[in-house]
Amino acid sequence: MRPVSYSRAADVSGAVQTVTADPLSDFLAGGTTEVDLLRQNVLSPRRLVDINDLPLTAIEELPHDGVRIGALARMSDVAKSGMVRERFPMVAQALELGGSAQLRQMASMGGNLMQRVRCGYYRDAESPCNKRDPGSGCSALEGVNRTHAVLGTSDHCIATHPSDVAVPLMALDARVHTQSTDGERVYDFDSFFRLPDDSPHREHPLGHGELVTSIEVPGTPLARTSLYLKIRDRASYEFALVSVAAALSVDRGAVSGVRLALGGVATKPWRARRAERLLLGAAAQRENYARAAREELAPARTTAMNAFKVELAQRAIVRALETLTQPGSPA
């Protein structure tokens, strides 16, 4: 690990200017991923600008039942927020399933969206990896790839996006606000996460020094009837093999509103738009849920080890939707 200079930023514009001025500098928030990667020589910035003193921790009410979450709000605080729990239960559930209590108290919401992939080859500085070292190759394509993605992959990278909370935020059409030396910008959630295509090292559209300042979650009555289902190899502190964020409303037996997104199966938080289109207006029944799930997974591209994810994801979608429509559910 090479020497790193460290400073604490006192305001947003100062932080943005300092990082923008040095191409080998980076922001430091909760540090729950970044410090590991520094130790493993995966990241090697010359300068770290600690942003933990910036006033970006608020969880604020927006008109029409929306919520604005500061980029430095801790995962644990957002999960505890009454507003979030009532309006977006799937967001609170994803946060609670997203890591240990200690990690949730340190990790920031902005950092969660920016976290790096958990592909073992990315973290092994000796292995070819297009994401860490562009053009070097992808060791996972013919390597150990049981946990890797089946949707949104390319011949250059098949790493799964690791975030839990990004999955319900994708279903909710959240927006990401940023600040750069050129001013403020707003990204819709889908465009904030790039597919790997032929440049997997570019995971977001942000310029160097562009800082995530908040996440805006638009209100929708639909989200009050929502859940986050996470399937993993062990019951605690494990990344998702498959996860589903689902919100559903039913009117006279037919689906009148639906939001669906998948985690653990794709190279970015995956909005299940094919399934949503098929479900809207269809009878709220298991066979329609299963048909929509099959269609969503139809473009899946599997490897020698991860083909099981296709059926697992289909079953998880059906289970999530059935749970929302069973007697006693508020749907």
| Footprint of ligand SF4 (CB under 6 A) | 117, 119, 121-122, 129-131, 138-140, 157-159, 200
SS3 track for 226-242: EEEEEECCCCCCCCCCE
Is residue 313 within 8 Å of 242, Cβ to Cβ? yes
Sign of CA dihedral 93, 97, 103, 107: negative
Residue 286, token pair as written in the block = 């298991």
Which letter, b or e, does each residue of 149-164 get, where b requires 16 or more Cβ atoms within 10 Å of its Cβ? bbbbbbebbbbbbbbb
Which residue do the tokens 């605690």 mark?
Answer: 236
We find the least distance from the C-beta atom of residue 95 to ligand SF4, in angstroms, to be 25
Chain centre to alpha carbon of residue 135: 25
The residue among 87 and 148 lying less far from ligand SF4, judged by its C-beta, is: 148
The residue among 131 and 259 lying less far from ligand SF4, judged by its C-beta, is: 131
We find the least distance from the C-beta atom of residue 41 to ligand SF4, in angstroms, to be 15
The residue among 14 and 120 lying less far from ligand SF4, judged by its C-beta, is: 120
Q: How far is residue 57 from each of residues 52, 96, 97, measured CA to CA in Å?
A: 9, 18, 21
The residue among 123 and 185 lying less far from ligand SF4, judged by its C-beta, is: 123
Residue 274, token pair as written in the block = 């094919």
We find the least distance from the C-beta atom of residue 113 to ligand SF4, in angstroms, to be 18
Compute and round to an integer the Cα radius of gyration of the chain. 20
Q: How far is residue 158 from each of residues 8, 26, 162, 254, 259, measured CA to CA in Å?
A: 36, 25, 12, 37, 25
We find the least distance from the C-beta atom of residue 106 to ligand SF4, in angstroms, to be 24
We find the least distance from the C-beta atom of residue 300 to ligand SF4, in angstroms, to be 16
End-to-end Cα separation, the chain, in angstroms: 53
Helix (H, G, I), strand (E, B) or coil at 100: coil
We find the least distance from the C-beta atom of residue 242 to ligand SF4, in angstroms, to be 18
The residue among 47 and 118 lying less far from ligand SF4, judged by its C-beta, is: 118
The residue among 95 and 166 lying less far from ligand SF4, judged by its C-beta, is: 166
Residue type, 330: P
We find the least distance from the C-beta atom of residue 138 to ligand SF4, in angstroms, to be 3
The residue among 225 and 303 lying less far from ligand SF4, judged by its C-beta, is: 303
Residue 81, token pair as written in the block = 């927020």
